[in-house]
Amino acid sequence: MDKAFLRISFVATLLALFVIVLGAYVRLSDAGLGCPDWPGCYGKLLAPTAATDVAAANQAFPEQPVESPKAWKEMIHRYFASALGLFIIALAGIAWKQRKTLGQQVKLPLFLVILVGFQGALGMWTVTLLLKPAIVTLHLLGGMLTLALLWWSMLTHWQNKTHRDKGDTRLTVSPTLRRWALLALVVVYCQIALGGWTSTNYVALHCWDLPTCQGQWLPPTDFKEGFTLWREIGVNYEGGVLSREAGTAVHLTHRIGAAITFLVVGGLSLALFFSGSVAGRRFGALIAFALCVQVALGLLNIILVLPIAVAVAHNGGAAVLLLSLVTVNRRIRPITQDKPIAVNDNYSSDAQFN
């Protein structure tokens, strides 16, 4: 069971990363409304392809004619997301079965079941609320959080096992550097939120030049409209509805966030690299590489006018950068072993959530 939890955690993490990248591809290829209903597609489990199925779907949903390629993209994303949910349920089942075992996490796997259920609801609302930016951005953030917690859970389980077998193997750093690593993790997650808001409002090209925006350092902006989080229901938000000034405000904020992220995360990578340990140098180099690739992809999105392959890779790069910071934060935290607790028929105790 110990190895099964570790293996399923690893597979689930890879699957979560794939679902995030696939979701970005679906969104960026304008297939987010490829199926106008949920959880099926035009009332069926499979997207309509045959002429008779397409004709029936068009009759049932006259307001949104079938585009089979887009419908299949959306449904394939749903299939993989559902598979991820099953893996997470399996993890929770193993954790509950092993809840009396020293070092077994229980709270986090159970929380992941709740989180993936909420993710399913956000997926439904993404369709039924016609790609409302607030919902789509929350869906992205929920996916990133699921990915990060799965990876954290796997690393915690592995470190607990290593701690029992070989002793403390964590990366020892100063309290200041530990706080810096946590700050970098929070900053990257906030920058992902800004990136999601930029993408879901379709304003990635509102600043089409570098380093200026529309040929100016500070073009006309409307931050109030740009960051109005909740808008009217019943509007199709595909393609975006923001004014040029509002879209520019969102894009500029994402650029400013990118600069802050570069400074905070870049500084962390340098601090780790010169921390004096081999592991510190490796982690510093890993974070620096992930950060530089992500910045390069962001620049290429502007220079090459948002090619879909680069835009999807930019989403994947954000996920990888997040994982690298989760790894560092897990490795520098002390391992807390649970104390054995006597369990009787009326009481059970789960493992401490690190």
Complete DSSP assignment for 165-225: HH---PPP--HHHHHHHHHHHHHHHHHHHHHHHHHHTT-TTSS-SSSSBTTBSS----HHH
Token output for 333: 């935290």
95: helix, strand or coil: helix
Neighbours of 150 (CB within 10 A): 31
Integer Cα distance of 275 and 239 in angstroms: 47
Residue partners of 243: CB distance under 8 A and separation at least 6: 222, 225
Integer Cα distance of 70 and 302 in angstroms: 25
How many whole angstroms from its chain centre is CA 32?
A: 17
Residue whose structure tokens are 């400074």: 263
Integer Cα distance of 272 and 328 in angstroms: 10
Provide the annotated active-site residues: 74
Neighbours of 266 (CB within 10 A): 16
pLDDT at 166: 62
DSSP E strand boundaries for 28-173:
none
pLDDT at 5: 93
Integer Cα distance of 189 and 211 in angstroms: 24
Q: pLDDT 10s digit of each residue in the chain, 354 long?
A: 678 999 999 999 999 999 999 999 999 999 999 999 999 999 999 999 999 999 999 999 999 999 999 999 999 999 999 999 999 999 999 999 999 887 789 999 999 999 999 999 999 999 999 999 999 999 999 999 999 999 999 999 888 877 665 655 678 889 999 999 999 999 999 999 999 999 999 999 999 999 999 999 999 999 999 999 999 999 999 999 999 999 999 999 999 999 999 999 999 999 999 998 899 999 999 999 999 999 999 999 999 999 999 999 999 999 999 999 999 999 988 765 444 334 444 434 344 444
Integer Cα distance of 90 and 96 in angstroms: 10
Task: Output Rg (C-alpha) for the chain, integer angstroms.
Answer: 22
